[in-house]
Amino acid sequence: MDGGGKSWQFECPLQTGYRYCKWEIVEKDMDRCIPHWQHAAIQGHPQSRYGLGIHEFNSRDIELAVRHFMISTKMGDEYSLNAIKEMFMEGHATKAQYAEALKGYQTALEETKSPQRE
């Protein structure tokens, strides 16, 4: 099987989760959305971690929200980095957490660089 099939399997839980969370195609149902995002997060998808972080923040589980954002930031997700920065500015995250997120984000960006791209 080529990489195309694997990509579809990787994206499917994330996209299904978005459909349930954003009223696309099906009625909005967060109880069905979250497991799809969790499945995609386990597979390593940073956007699903970001979505879970937003959900946990809105549910007032700040500690879990920060953990989700930290993981996806270290995968190079700029939205999650901005979320941690905003949480730091509002007093929901520590300076150390923001510094760790920034360092992880920079490391992720460096890992994606190659001599062929420059």
Of 20-24, 53-57, 105-109, the poorest mean pLDDT is in: 20-24
For residue 103, which of 82, 69, 73, 72 has the smallest C-alpha distance?
73
**pLDDT grade, residue 28 (50/70/90)?**
low
Determine the number of helices (DSSP H) and then strands (DSSP E) in the chain: 6, 0
103-116 as b/e: b if 16+ CB within 10 A: ebbeebeeeeeeee
Answer whether 73's CB lies under 8 Å from 81's CB.
yes
**pLDDT grade, residue 5 (50/70/90)?**
very low
| Cα gap 56→53, rounded to integer Å | 5
**pLDDT grade, residue 85 (50/70/90)?**
very high
Amino acid identity for residue 35 in this structure: P
Q: Summarize the confidence of residues 32-60 as an average pLDDT.
A: 85
| Cα gap 24→39, rounded to integer Å | 19
Confidence (pTM): 0.72
Does 8 score more than 50 pLDDT?
no
Does 95 score more than 90 pLDDT?
yes
Amino acid identity for residue 20 in this structure: Y
- Looking at residue 117, its pLDDT comes to 59
- Looking at residue 55, its pLDDT comes to 87
Degrees (nearest 5) of the Cα angle 22, 57, 91? 140
